[in-house]
Structure formats: C-alpha cells, structure tokens
Structure 1
Amino acid sequence: MNYGIIAPSSHNVQAGYDTVNSVHYFTIPGSFSYHATGNNSSFRLGSNVNVPGRWAFRIDHGPPLNEDTGPFYPIAGNTSSRSLHGSSPQILLQQPFVYFGQSYNHIYVNHNGHLTFSAPWYNYIPQRFPMYGSRDVIAPFWTDFDNRVNGQVYYNQYTSGSVLQQATQDINEYFPGFNFSATWVFVATWYEMAYYPMTGTRTTIQAVLISGGQYSFVLMNYGIIAPSSHHVQAGYDTVNSVHYFTIPGSFSYNATGNNSSFRLGSNVNVPGRWGFLINHGPPLNEDTGKSENKSVLVF
C-alpha cells in the first residue's frame, strides 16, 4: 500500500485489510484518527518496511500461534537483578549494532520492557511514540513491570550456531531480496514478568536484534500476556523521532489479555511476531511518495 499526497479531511479513514470472520486482519496505525489525512498523515510518513509511505504485508496464509510458548528464540543467558524499575548492567556488544545510522557498542535491557543504548532508562510510565526525545529506544512492551517476586529478565548474544541459522532463515522469509546472512543476534526476554503492583501476573515478551553486513533488524515476539489496566507502548523511536513506529494496539484495551493485538497480530504473517528493518531510513519524496533510496527492497 503506497501513499503520496493526502489532502486534509474530517472524514474517517480505515487502512489495512480484513478477512471473513476477521480470522486475519491488520489496521495501519492512524486509522480513525486525525493523523489519517493531511501533510502529517501517518500512512504517508510511516512504514513497516522502512520506506516512508509504503506498507507491505504477506497475505497468502496465516500460521497458528503456539498457545503456550509464542514464537520465541531461546530464553536463556544472563539474568538481570530482581528490582523495581531496574536495568541490566551495561552490556558490551560482540559486534557493533547500527540503529538508523547510529552505531552502538553497548546496550541496556531495562526491566520495564524497553532497550536503550547510551544509558539505562528506568521510566515505567509509557509515552506515546513519537516522543521527539533525546534517546534511541526499542520497546517491545513498555509498561510498569515488577520482577521482585516473579519474573526474570534474560539476555544473550550469539555469533555462531543454530540461532544465527534461524535468524538468517527468518529474515530472508520476511524480507526476501536482501540475500541476508546473520552474523550476530542479541536476544532479550522479559519472562513471566509481573505488573506492578500485581504480583503473580505473568507476561512474556522478547526483542531479537539481528545484524549482518549493512542490515539491521529487530523482531518483537509475544507469548502469554496477562490482562492489565496499565498502558502499554510497543514499537520503536529514535532521537527527535526521525524514525518511529507504534504497533497497533498500543495505548488501547487490546494491548493485554488473551486477545492482545500484539500477540494475535503480525506484520510478517507469524501471529505474535513483528519484524522491522532498522539500519537506515530512506527519505520520502514529498511530491510522489516514493523513496529516494532506490536500493531498498520490500516484500
């Protein structure tokens, strides 16, 4: 779905797709909002394939979600402390990771469902993206967690073996045309985390950073998500929000529980998994809506 100039209007707009009985569906963020039309239309400025004004979906089939485990990479490695609003220590990356043009050698796995690069971040009150802030953040599930009684925060890196093979296979399936080969994978898992102050609730989500050659990707994986009245922001944001994405369902009653849109939805045709190319962001041609970066391949 490609978007060029969109005139402002007070009309409601729905963008996306739906199926019989809504077995599979997707709503592009901005539908039924004031961001749908005009110069700042989220359809035109946003993307799920890193080409502003373009949204792409695989729609040939919909594989079932494993009800027990979700679409997870290995849940293993080092564990962070048990603390309210805590963070991992500074983690030295075995390979630099490029995030929208910025190369990083360290990362922090923050307990409240987000990753940062320059410093730990203890913020437990989610903010809507774009924040127009001063930090790069990847947030698979930014909310108020508390793992002092139950829940673990795991993180691990891989530079060889079956995890790299799996990452290579996944990225080439979701983003064909890149001939991608993973050389490094970082997996952060918030495992059976409790919401504050609801000890005993259990939510498991995961962020998988993948790099190889000139490309960087992130997969966000969702398993069981306990119901909660807490707000949740899922997606990513950059310094000054030059690039950002909000997964549909953020800041809505569909964020948590058995019908969580994060867990049932997908942009890569794997329920519970969302994938993004995040190494760069090609500029948008203001007149045509086409990307100026001719080398970008989309599916």
Structure 2
Amino acid sequence: MIDQLIFLPISSSVSMVDTKSSSEKGSLLYPYGTHQGDETNPKHYDGTSEEITLSVPFTFYGKTYQTVFVNNNGVISFDEPVKQYTPDPFPLVDGHPFVAPYWADGDNVLGGDIFYCQTTNPVLLEDISQDISHYFPKSPFTTTWALVATWDHVAYCGSTSEKGNTFQAVLTTDSKMFYIIFNY
C-alpha cells in the first residue's frame, strides 16, 4: 500500500515511492491544524481558500506560479480556483493546471476541515528534505520552503455518517528542484 507519493513535476516523468511507514513516525502526515498556525478554509460546499500569494515562486511543468488556491474538492490549483466537484479527464478543457491529491465531491460543511500553510519551519523542512533525499539519493535536496495543505476527515457529498477522508499535499522547493508529496 502506498502511504506517500512523491512527484517530480519539472520533468515529463513521474516517480512514486512508498514512504513514512506508521512504525517510523507517529503519523503518515506532516503536522497540521490551527495549533500549528495553519489557515482554515471556510465551510462552503465547493468552496476554496482565498488566493494564496506564494512567498516562494513554484515551478510546475516548466511554468512558474506566484499564486495557488486550496480547493475544498481536494485539489490545489494554480492562479485560479477549481470549484467544480465532478472530476473530469486530464487535461481540463479550460487548461487550468492543478495538483489533485484526491479530487472528489467533498463537503466540509457536513464534516471535516481543510488546513494550509506556507512554512520555513526548520524542523518541518528537515523532515521533508529527509523524506525526499531518502528516495532520491542521487539528487541532494534541502528544502527552503513548503506549502502544506491537509484535508482532515472531510465528508463526502450527501454523507450521513461520520466517515471522511484525510489526505495531504505538500509543494516544496529548494529554488532549483520542485517536488510535490501526497500523504494518505
């Protein structure tokens, strides 16, 4: 079972690795929540964060972006929100780029929270750097910035149970290499 995916978005190839077994760390996810200083998305069906101006530009498939949105439907989009709830085949007809750790018809009004933060916290950045360097040892990497977005126990549309999905996406860079990590 894959607990974490690491993508190399600056090339045409994509790499997946299994990392962070639960026995290695207390959680499969990097720390998150309001107690970590994270922002929280509003409780809106098909909602999104406000536009997030990145403190460090992020390059995704050759294009550099200055802004992202953390969408309640399980995607991080570049430059503008993706509010549609029904996943469509890639690439989208409108051509807007985004990262989809779990694109679904989630509804945080029915349950769950969506958190995000940009960070230069040295302890968190060291954990991220170690995870990437462990699986890509020929590409030395020391991250200097990350955006961590976490969907915590988010309900599905029409849910009548307490079931929810928890997952995380991390955009990170050392200003030369750019990685995206998915944690489930």
TM over 0.5: yes
Corresponding residue number in structure 2 for 1:198? 159
**Distance change >3 Å, CA 70–CA 101, structure 1 → 2:** same
Identity of aligned residues (%): 32
Q: Distance in 1 between matches of 2:14 and 2:107?
A: 36
8 Å contact from structure 2 (residues 168, 182) kept in 1: yes
Contact 1:107 1:117 in 2 (8 A): yes
Residue of structure 2 aligned with 1:90, choices 44, 51, 59: 51
Partner residue of 1:275? none
**Contact 2:53/2:68 (CA < 8 Å) preserved in 1?**
yes
Counterpart of 2:149 in structure 1 is 188
- Give the aligned length: 172
Structure 2 residue ranges without an equivalent (≥5): none
Aligned partner of 2:32 in structure 1 is 75
Equivalent residue runs for 1:130-209 within 5 Å: 130-131=91-92, 133-199=94-160, 200-209=162-171
Counting strand residues as a fraction of each chain, which structure ranks higher?
Answer: 2
Secondary structure of the residue aligned to 1:198 is coil
Q: Distance in 2 between matches of 1:218 and 1:103?
A: 14
Structure 1 or 2, whichever has the larger Rg, is: 1
Q: TM-score, normalised by structure 1?
A: 0.53
Amino acid at match of 2:108: N
170 and 85 in structure 1: CA distance in 2 versus 1, 3 angstrom threshold: same
Give the residue type in structure 2 aligned to 1:215: M
Offset of residue 133 of structure 1: 4.2
CA distance in structure 2 between the partners assigned to 1:57 and 1:65 by the alignment: 18
Q: What letter corresponds to residue 184 of structure 1 in structure 2?
A: W
SS of the equivalent of 1:135 reads: coil
What is the root-mean-square deviation of aligned Cα atoms in Å? 2.5
- Contact preservation (8 Å) 1:187, 1:206: yes
Q: Is the 8 A contact 2:54 2:67 kept in 1?
A: yes
Q: Which residue of 1 aligns with 2:179?
A: 217
8 Å CA contact 1:208–1:220 kept in 2: the answer is yes
Give, in angstroms, the shift of residue 192 of structure 1. Answer: 0.5
TM-score, length basis structure 2: 0.83
Structure 2 residue aligned with 1:255? none
Whole-Å separation in 2 of the counterparts to 1:56 and 1:209: 15
User: Amino acid of the residue matched to residue 98 of structure 2?
Assistant: V
Q: Deviations over 1:95-129 (max 9, x none)?
A: 11111111111110000000111111101001233
